[in-house]
Structure 1
Amino acid sequence: MYPTRLLPLALAATALLVTACGTSDEASDPGTSPSPSASSSSSPAPASPSPSGTPKPKPQPEPSRPPSSEKPVRGLVSAGGAAEGDLEKTATPLPDEAAIRTYAATLGTSLQTSFTTKASTLLAHVPAGQRLYAQTVYDGCEAPDPATITATTSGADVVLQVTPPKSTKIQCLVAERSVALLSTDIAVG
């Protein structure tokens, strides 16, 4: 075949392909539409496009609950190089910003700013009748899951506990220290 005979054929194929795609309002991307296999997978589905054609942002988990909720607020702050000294045996109440700053001063330098920011955010959302507590709970290569933070009592003290991360073969040169934050209505003495 000669090149002059292929040109009309290539143009016809391109025109057919473009018209088959439709307009930008009609087009759909199979990668963004949920499929039966996507619902059974453990990964979240990608964001679907909004009517304007731009993808909707994925909803982000709230770092805490709104004040009207009776569920406790919780958080975990971790930083490498902050594992200085022993873990605390009891939790420290954080009723106000001054208590947060005082507690932060006892932490390693790499934890102080992130702890103060997180604790201040959580303090603003502590449900009525509850109090925010902080305690160093874990030293290791990985941070524990904040959802595993629980509170118990030991005499007149509150004790925060966390489930350590599953054992992995990760080796670290500098361990991370994790500080748990949890609001609770446990009555202490």
Structure 2
Amino acid sequence: MKETDWDKYYTNRGTNKITKITRGFTSNKISNLIRRQGINNPRICELGGGDSCVADEIIQESKASYYEVVDNCEKGLSLFKARNHLCESGVVKDSVLNKNSVENFDICLSIGLIEHFNESDTSKAIEYHFKKVRTGGFVLITFPHPTWLYCLTRKILEITGAWKFPDERPLNFEEVTRTCKLYGKEIHRSINWKIILTQGYVLYEKI
């Protein structure tokens, strides 16, 4: 299967007016979920974030003390590194399929990352999230969920040649939670319908 061209994606992302709106819905929902956990000045890690589209609002709303982005795309990391942030920040070039990474973050999140792998590697990517957080920390994962609205919207984008994610695989909650429940306790699950290409959300506390 053809892979998504992430260099091209990060280069052109700012020109898409629709995604600018939907990112606002995404960052607002994530910020609310993080705030409800009551962590003071959390240390946050975003996986596959590249030039993160949610970091600014999350940092501001959560009063994060540190925000790190992990990605294997140099283009995205360099764009994030060049930005000014309201807290200390860092970038790490790594693959979420790496089994050796162990950290002690309060929160690890990803937005539309785990669906770009086959089922086996998706499970490995989910496991990586839990390795990044301390016991009692939180893992928040969003992923495309195959509602009728997602399927219809994607079909239109594919027909018109506007679809840019050939390796995206919409996921059901069962596949995602199968791995999550091995490492944590479910706190929240929902579907974000506001962004049209509907996203599933799961939040787990690491045990």
Q: Which structure is higher in strand share? A: 2
Shorter-chain TM-score tier: under 0.3
Q: Which structure is higher in helix share? A: 2
TM-score, with length taken from structure 1: 0.27
TM-score, with length taken from structure 2: 0.25
Structure with the greater alpha carbon radius of gyration: 1
Higher RCO by CA contacts (8 Å cutoff, separation 6 or greater) = 1
